[in-house]
Structure 1
């Protein structure tokens, strides 16, 4: 098991050159004084004996055919765990559809595996001779925005007609009424499909659709439906990356009843593709061939996915839930590797629920993989997985956050990465957190190989929370704006990651149940410091107290 960085790190890269200024410290107490200050935050009690999920690690993706390989030096920075390294322990690579490209990412995979990293692979497409075009007639996919959470003008939330999702739907009260879906996330430039789930029991109605105040479709017809029957109306718009308001404005006496909006890239009719239904066996052989190719070249894949984002496949291969379940139940068993599925782009539960509810499909699943693009923290928990996935692993297999448009060094925006990892570990209870491209201007490594601020946020977890550690019980927000999570190694080492999201310093005490605390080493990132080791915090009894600078992340390591 890897150990934390040495007591006196020698920083080689300017991005990790942390200042040596000490952080104000306070001694920990084993309990509250006789006359405790009622306004003083109570200690966050960490319970190493109450284990949650086992951690497989943290890492990222490389895709040589799209952005080039990592250099040997960049590989070292990503997967070593010295003072100036990220300490990543997971590498994701693609499964090329053409066997001639199977070695494109081999050198990086070999280097990562030699350093002890887990390597897994995801396909975007089957071989070209195994796919066919088709016309999609299923429910539109994309990021979902509920109408009842929108900004309403001369409109109201209703619940009298059945069949809606969420807490209700929105009914227009007259001409000029509007429903504005705020913060619609667009990740890349291009033609987007804005699909509205609607009902129109009173007859045909019309409405205009605006993006950021500009009309993109006027007089859109929403044909009549029966009461309680919901249909789809889609419009297309050219959009650029960002968060945009999408507004529906009634043009007659009323508009359609709106349930929610789905926003996604646009796939023209007839351009969608899928795996031929008579080619499932050949596709399983293709995946198995890649597993053996990597094995024959010294890389034992930890897992292989059936499909990258089968529910957002505007530029790759679509799968329905029925198709995915059939492949898992009837063909995945012939693949000599752990199976990962479904890798929904947004952790959409209706994509993974059918697997968890089908014993034959579930029997051949080893890792439930998910992406977190636009997923709200409220949707991170997964009760059905808790119920049916007892012997399965739960991985977050791809994300960039909060965007792919800003520099990874932009602060305090980069602090949001640490918040995201915290929620992924605590609220979703993922066992792995895998970033998109390891090297990118918005990623953990910049194009020149230097570690970015976003990279530091990931490293506060990856360098110290090592494979085999367990997350253990601890308050996830012991005081407003302070996020904490704790992890224990089998050797007795305890790791606590504290994220101060506020603009003020905060004093936070930690009490470790069932053991004494002699000291806690600490590493800090804030506006001016990057993974800078600070003077150790000395404990008293079973507790210690530290000051958390504003907008900062601190990782504490309590030795056994």
Structure 2
């Protein structure tokens, strides 16, 4: 009896020990990657191996980036102040916008109103692009430019560019296919005919056709005029009502020259700012060269009416401060992990990675880099409660992983 009891007890002990060992093994195999208190990654080769890696290839070059910017219309909402100009265009202390879009007024007496902000933007190295909503009324029949006034209209545009000290590019029409508007209408063929005949007389290189919803058919029709195409510096358009998409091999760089996400809520609304971040990302992954917001200063814009940079502005800064004109986009998966969106850029031996985490939880994202050697990054993070928080990140063997805070945007700039 004692022998039997002893064996039963011994058997139970072995069973308990087996269960304990099994439990430990199970916990070890189901290990989760947990951020430390600072949000840093628990980094390691084993962890990286089981994650969806974003592989960046610096040797695969895509489009050249021309920049990120916004619009100023002094005759409608007043000019930017000196402080607002610094906050908009300084890459050191501001958003770092490298594009200013302005309106060509219909009367020459209003030309001078544009110049102070144009001069300030240029002093920071920004490109200035100008768009005409309407020709002078004497040149129009209703909302259409008279063909007999083409020469006069080109002279009007040229006079404007001279008055403001020159612009990088000019669009003779704004959303000409938006028939519900109160500004000048035209077909793609009419615009192409005008540019073919008068494009060299407008005082600046032409950007066209700037359609509403980046209408591919409208753009293709315009570009089918070989003479107009040859006089067009780049294709421009707006994405109201349209998700950014690749226009295909059209032989011209594509700039998104106007959009805003929501004019009824504050620029400090974080979900809306994250929508803006995703939209900029989508424009870049569509192969476009530039992203231009609507009003620079507005309650829903990058700078509010109290001259403060908003969350929308900080989100833009994650691109604009560090992805400067002349950088090239390089191969990088746009959506490597559910809810995570990444893009990468380079200039010489420097690379910049922008990662957007739309998930409601911290998400670990591993990366590998080829074609360029990187030893460390400066890291900048913006969340609903922080703006451009900075830290350093060392890496080895061109592979690393980071924890992206919940609902955040992170920019990594190589040293």
Q: What is the TM-score of this pair, normalised by structure 1? A: 0.66
CA distance in 2, matches of 1:130, 1:413: 41
CA distance in 2, matches of 1:93, 1:449: 19
**Runs of 5+ in structure 2 lacking a partner?**
1-36
Note if contact 2:254-2:289 (Cα within 8 Å) is conserved in structure 1. Answer: yes
CA distance in 2, matches of 1:28, 1:544: 8
Structure 1 residues 489 and 26: alpha-carbon distance in aligned structure 2, compared to 1, 3 A threshold: farther
Q: Is residue 2:393 matched to residue 1:537?
A: yes
Q: Is residue 2:59 matched to residue 1:59?
A: no
**Matches for 1:315-464 after TM superposition, within 5 Å:** 315-377=182-244, 380-383=245-248, 386=249, 388-389=250-251, 392-401=252-261, 403-427=262-286, 429-464=287-322
Structure 1 residues 336 and 413: alpha-carbon distance in aligned structure 2, compared to 1, 3 A threshold: closer
CA distance in 2, matches of 1:435, 1:37: 37
**Matches for 1:118-517 after TM superposition, within 5 Å:** 118-133=127-142, 273-295=143-165, 300-313=166-179, 314-377=181-244, 380-383=245-248, 386=249, 388-389=250-251, 392-401=252-261, 403-427=262-286, 429-490=287-348, 492-517=349-374
Aligned to 1:524: 381
**Runs of 5+ in structure 1 lacking a partner?**
1-20, 134-272
Looking at secondary structure, tell me which structure has more helix per residue.
2
Describe the SS at the equivalent of 2:309.
Answer: coil
CA distance in 2, matches of 1:28, 1:425: 31
Note if contact 1:28-1:540 (Cα within 8 Å) is conserved in structure 2. Answer: no
Aligned to 1:178: none
CA distance in 1, matches of 2:168, 2:238: 18
Deviations 1:90-127 (A, max 9, x none): 10111001011011111010111111111111001101
Note if contact 1:27-1:540 (Cα within 8 Å) is conserved in structure 2. Answer: no
Describe the SS at the equivalent of 2:359.
Answer: coil
524-533 or 465-474: bigger deviation: 524-533
Task: Work out which of the two has the higher radius of gyration on C-alpha atoms and give 1 or 2.
Answer: 2
Note if contact 1:27-1:545 (Cα within 8 Å) is conserved in structure 2. Answer: yes
Figure out how many residues of one structure are paired with residues of the other and give that number: 378
Note if contact 2:48-2:401 (Cα within 8 Å) is conserved in structure 1. Answer: no
Q: 1:514: Cα distance to partner?
A: 3.0
Looking at secondary structure, tell me which structure has more strand per residue.
1
Q: Give 4+ residue runs of structure 1 displaced > 6 Å after superposition.
A: none
CA distance in 2, matches of 1:124, 1:37: 52
CA distance in 2, matches of 1:50, 1:455: 30
CA distance in 1, matches of 2:218, 2:210: 9
**Matches for 1:24-173 after TM superposition, within 5 Å:** 24-27=40-43, 29=45, 33=46, 40-82=50-92, 84-133=93-142
Q: 1:28: Cα distance to partner?
A: 6.0
Note if contact 1:28-1:509 (Cα within 8 Å) is conserved in structure 2. Answer: no
Q: 1:516: Cα distance to partner?
A: 3.4
What is the CA RMSD across the aligned residues, in angstroms?
Answer: 1.5
